[in-house]
Amino acid sequence: MDIYGLLDANGIVYKRYDHVAVFTCDEADSAMPRTGAAHTKNLFLRDKKGQRHWLLVTVCEKAVDLRRVAERIGADRLSLGSGERLEKYLGVTPGSVTLLALVNDPQHHVTVLIDEDVWRAETVQAHPLINTATLVISQADLRRFLSVTGHEPRVIPVENRAAGAVLERPPLPSA
The total number of structural domains that make up the chain: 1
Q: Is 51 domain-assigned?
A: yes
Whether 175 is in a domain gets the answer: no
CATH number, domain of 132, equals 3.90.960.10
Global pTM reads: 0.88
* Cβ–Cβ under 8 Å, residues 154 and 56: no
Residue 94 structural domain = 3-156
Helices and strands in the chain: count of H runs, count of E runs: 6, 8
The CA distance from 66 to 161, in Å, is 9
pLDDT greater at residue 32 or residue 89: 89
Domain assignment present for 165: no
Q: Is the pLDDT of residue 169 over 80?
A: no
Tell me the C-alpha distance between 128 and 9, whole Å. Answer: 15
Q: What is the pLDDT of residue 28?
A: 87
The predicted-structure confidence for 61-80, as pLDDT tens digits, reads as follows 999 999 999 999 999 899 99
pLDDT band for 161, please (50, 70, 90 cuts): confident
